[in-house]
């Protein structure tokens, strides 16, 4: 059965707008290379581009025109200062270079690599600098939020296979982004922690049994006989070296990266304290002293590593809640002859055979056949679109009900592949939000180092010995609470991730905890987000034998019996018979609307009547289906399809048909025995929780609906309470640009579920995917609603706000402690041992605060 397409609504406004194509935004298979492109999304414009007298520029569709008209007004358009302010706020200026330069202007090939090991914004700057020093690499942008780096390189000087090796090193591992397998096989860091813990216990045994007692002029707990102090010290030194340089390697690497990038971070503070106590103790061993502070190094490294590992393991467990989703990209194509060949072997002009249920491999033009094409994955449109010879079809869309032959377009590319490439490009250019602790560290770390050096210098200048002065400076570094500061963020984030997981929300990127509390604009996709995303029968209208005055229900029209979805308890033989016969015929069609009718018939039937109904002489067209059921010809489809078969549609049904179309639904008329028997209305219904969700989301935020649908299917959402604006008919490539322009209004969150939403999810400050969405959408999102409940979006914001508040509390306590402890250390009133005890107490408070329920 084919779609009964609702009429396309013109954009509002007094200006004259021209649509030069019956399918706006769909370039023909033979688009000229010099064709102008859309001023919003850069797609080719049709032969007669969309224009308006009140808007400068040309556009591929009315959706792009409307977005440009609304968001490019003088009072909305972001100027350079506003853009720079936003970049500064998000800490995008990672170093002195312009991170946001346009790599598209560079003359080279693109490569997208997945990088394991990035964990802060300094990693981004370090990897970009490292890559750009390599001959042949023209430019690079990296994002730790998405573990992606984009390289523009000269293929004459570098081979694509060598690029991963250029980026790998210093603890980072790069691989081809298209072949990356998420966290599969990733090292979870447990082995270094366990081995470090084992050697740490050995170190602490020596301290408890031998060194600690001597610090307080007590006898050792055990008699070691022939063991000399030097031998014990050497053992402790060796074990501590393993812990520092093996278990603590990620910390040291982070410190090194921060120095190379010129941006002090918390890793640098932790490494300074660990290396300071280690270096002092190593010199003390060589000089034969017995007061060693290797235990401080051990405590710092193990506590911070354990906190980071806990955060990672919680996030990994949460990510495991996501079901494995079907890979959507096509890697093979079937020639018209039936031969299957790799996609890279396809040339422009090749004729491909696409069977029902298969994806169109590449963009092209239908040469033979007609079918209903499901474009929801690409465009977000909920209803399949009827396509015939000469029509353009997008690569990645699904042929639902009949085979077609497609001639590959001039570019021999897929719309879906373009979306994937666009997604990776956005992800690689989207730097992660610098953690609050790292922001503070840019000031705090240099301050602590200056105080430590100054204290040691003053002590030395006032006559103290070199060892005393060094010990005093070391105490200042140790007492600066690196453990508490190092734990403040990971423990709070782990608690937030755990809380979210318990409520059916998977946090995929911890940057959500920095951005989500300040959301100003929430952008919502329509299909699959505001609606259920699946076709279903919404109501059945039957015509009684007398056609007039025989039966009325629920205030329905004269002669029409209406049974809505909520009336499943109503026994109505006419409606049951209507569904039974229509479902029997529609069950032979693969069209999504036909399947909805067949499913409803099966659900309504008290027995397996529908499945057992024999259908003979089945016929299928692009406007309807028919077949012999119980010896009578049953016809289901577009009203005109039935009229062509000689079945007149009663006047009493016409208002129902008009109402269905006005609401963006599909009316399927059913008839047999020479006359029309009734009407089945099929549509993509709004979610049950929609009103409650919008009410919560609209509290202090602007709510915008962004959809590829247009016409009646979107009009109902303009009237919803809580919705401030609706952008309809927006192609996938323009969604990301729309989100970016909305940033002029503040921090933006995007909620979607389809591959067509993925670039917009990645471009938004916060991207949230519904759990029933595609893999591309979930890969692009910062959080995924596993339960597919729209009300959980606002709950995601609440959890992020609570987590952000917890991070601030932890850091506040740590710095308040420092405000007291550091002056005492500078005054010489603390020694490293008591500093370590105070540091442990502060860390315990951070742990307890993080463990509180949200």
Gap between the Cα atoms of 333 and 362, Å rounded = 9
| Count of Cβ atoms closer than 10 Å to residue 15 Cβ | 13
Residue 631 in tokens: 């010896």
Is the Cβ–Cβ distance between 180 and 164 less than 8 Å? Answer: no
Please provide the DSSP assignment of 661-711 as one string.
HHTT-EEEEEEETTEEEEEEEEE-PBPTTHHHHHHHHTTTSEEEEE-S--T
Secondary structure of residue 333 in the 3-state scheme: strand
Is 605 buried (19+), middle (13-18) or exposed (0-12) by CB count in 10 A? middle
Backbone angles phi, psi at 149, to 5 degrees: -130, 135
Write the DSSP assignment of 554-603 as a string of letters. TT--TTEEEEEGGGTT---HHHHHHHHHHHHHHTT---HHHHHHHHHHHH
Which tokens belong to 524? 């919502």
Residue 794's H or E segment, with its range, is helix 792-826
Q: Are 393 and 365 in contact (CB under 8 A)?
A: yes
Output the CA torsion sign for 526, 530, 531, 533. Answer: positive
| Cβ-proximal residues to 613 (8 Å cutoff; 6+ apart), any chain | 580, 581, 584, 629, 630
- What's the chain's Rg over C-alpha atoms? 33
Give the sign of the dihedral formed by CA 102, CA 106, CA 111, CA 113.
negative
Distance CA 189, CA 199 (A): 16
Is there a catalytic annotation at residue 100? no
- Per the CB < 8 A criterion, the answer to whether 258 and 442 are in contact is no
Residue 388 DSSP label: -
How far apart CA 712 and CA 7 sit, in angstroms, is: 7
Determine contact, residues 195/201, Cβ cutoff 8 Å: no
Any residues with CB less than 8 A from the CB of 191 and at least 6 apart, and which?
none
End-to-end CA distance of the chain: 51
DSSP assignment letter at 517: G
Of these residues, 525, 576, 599, 765, which one is catalytic?
525
Active-site residue list: 525
């Amino acid at each position: 059965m084919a779609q009964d397409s609702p009429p396309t609504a013109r954009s509002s406004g007094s200006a004259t707008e021209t649509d030069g194509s019956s399918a706006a935004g769909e370039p023909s298979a033979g688009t000229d290379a010099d064709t102008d492109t859309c001023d919003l999304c850069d797609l080719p414009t049709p032969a007669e581009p969309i224009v308006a007298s009140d808007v400068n520029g040309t556009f591929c569709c009315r959706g792009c025109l409307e977005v440009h008209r609304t968001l490019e007004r003088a009072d909305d358009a972001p100027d350079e200062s506003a853009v720079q302010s936003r970049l500064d706020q998000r800490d995008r200026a990672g170093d002195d270079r312009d991170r946001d330069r346009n790599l598209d202007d560079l003359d080279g090939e693109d490569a997208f690599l997945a990088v394991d090991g990035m964990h802060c914004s300094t990693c981004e700057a370090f990897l970009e600098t490292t890559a750009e020093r390599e001959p042949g690499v023209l430019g690079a942008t990296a994002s730790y939020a998405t573990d992606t780096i984009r390289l523009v390189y000269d293929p004459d000087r570098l081979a694509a296979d060598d690029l991963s090796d250029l980026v790998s090193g210093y603890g980072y591992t790069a691989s081809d982004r298209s072949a990356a397998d998420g966290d599969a096989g990733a090292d979870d860091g447990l082995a270094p922690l366990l081995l470090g813990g084992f050697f740490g216990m050995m170190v602490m045994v020596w301290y408890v049994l031998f060194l600690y007692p001597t610090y307080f002029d007590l006898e050792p707990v055990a008699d070691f006989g022939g063991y000399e102090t030097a031998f014990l010290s050497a053992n402790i030194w060796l074990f501590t070296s393993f812990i520092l340089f093996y278990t603590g390697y990620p910390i040291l690497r982070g410190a090194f990266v921060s120095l190379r990038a010129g941006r002090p971070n918390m890793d640098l503070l932790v490494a300074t304290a660990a290396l300071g106590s280690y270096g002092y103790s190593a010199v003390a061993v060589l000089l034969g002293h017995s007061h060693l502070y290797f235990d401080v190094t051990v405590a710092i490294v193990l506590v911070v590593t354990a906190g980071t590992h806990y955060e990672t393991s919680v996030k990994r467990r949460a990510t495991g809640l996501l079901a494995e989703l079907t890979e959507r990209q096509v890697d093979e194509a079937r020639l018209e002859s039936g031969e299957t060949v790799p996609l890279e072997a396809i040339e422009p002009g090749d004729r491909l055979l696409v069977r029902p249920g298969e994806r169109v491999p590449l963009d092209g033009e239908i040469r033979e056949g007609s079918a209903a094409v499901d474009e929801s994955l690409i465009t977000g449109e909920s209803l399949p679109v009827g396509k015939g010879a000469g029509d353009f079809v997008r690569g990645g869309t699904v042929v639902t009900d009949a085979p077609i032959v497609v001639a590959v377009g001039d570019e021999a590319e897929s719309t879906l592949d373009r979306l994937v490439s666009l997604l990776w490009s956005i992800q690689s250019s989207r730097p992660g939000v610098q953690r609050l602790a790292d922001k503070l560290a840019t000031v705090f770390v240099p301050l602590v180092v200056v105080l430590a050096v100054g204290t040691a210098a003053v002590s030395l200048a006032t006559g103290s010995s070199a060892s005393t002065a060094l010990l005093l400076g070391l105490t200042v570094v140790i007492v600066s609470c690196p453990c508490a500061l190092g734990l403040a963020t990971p423990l709070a984030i782990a608690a937030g991730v755990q809380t979210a997981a318990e409520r059916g929300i998977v946090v995929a990127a911890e940057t959500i905890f920095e951005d989500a509390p300040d959301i100003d604009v929430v952008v919502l996709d329509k299909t699959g987000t505001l609606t259920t995303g699946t076709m279903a029968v919404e109501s059945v209208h039957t015509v009684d034998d007398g056609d007039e005055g025989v039966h009325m229900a629920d205030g329905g029209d004269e002669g029409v019996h209406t049974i809505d979805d909520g009336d499943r308890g109503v026994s109505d033989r006419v409606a049951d018979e209507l569904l039974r016969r229509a479902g029997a015929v529609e069950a032979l069609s693969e069209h999504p609307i036909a399947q909805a009718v067949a499913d409803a018939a099966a659900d309504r039937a008290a027995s397996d009547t529908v499945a057992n109904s024999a259908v003979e002489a089945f016929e299928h067209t692009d406007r309807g289906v028919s077949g012999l059921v119980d010896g009578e010809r049953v016809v289901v489809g577009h009203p005109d399809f039935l009229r062509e078969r000689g079945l007149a549609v009663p006047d009493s049904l016409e208002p129902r048909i008009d109402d269905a179309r006005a609401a963006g639904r599909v009316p399927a008329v059913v008839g047999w025995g020479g006359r029309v028997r009734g009407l089945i209305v099929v549509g993509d219904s709004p979610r049950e929780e929609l009103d409650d969700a919008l009410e919560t989301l609209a509290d202090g935020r602007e709510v915008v609906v962004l959809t590829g649908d247009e016409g009646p299917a979107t009009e109902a959402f303009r009237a919803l309470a809580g919705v401030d604006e609706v952008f309809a008919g927006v192609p996938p490539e323009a969604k990301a640009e729309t989100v970016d322009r909305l940033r002029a209004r503040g921090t933006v969150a995007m909620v979607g579920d389809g591959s067509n939403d993925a670039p917009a999810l990645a471009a938004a400050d916060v991207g949230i995917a519904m759990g029933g969405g595609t893999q591309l959408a979930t890969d692009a999102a910062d959080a995924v609603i596993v339960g597919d409940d729209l009300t959980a979006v606002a709950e995601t914001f609440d959890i992020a706000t609570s987590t952000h508040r917890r991070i601030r509390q932890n850091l506040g306590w740590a710095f308040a402690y420092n405000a007291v402890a550091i002056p005492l250390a500078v005054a010489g009133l603390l020694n490293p041992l008591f500093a370590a005890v105070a540091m442990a107490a502060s860390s315990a408070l951070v742990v307890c605060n993080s463990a509180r329920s949200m």
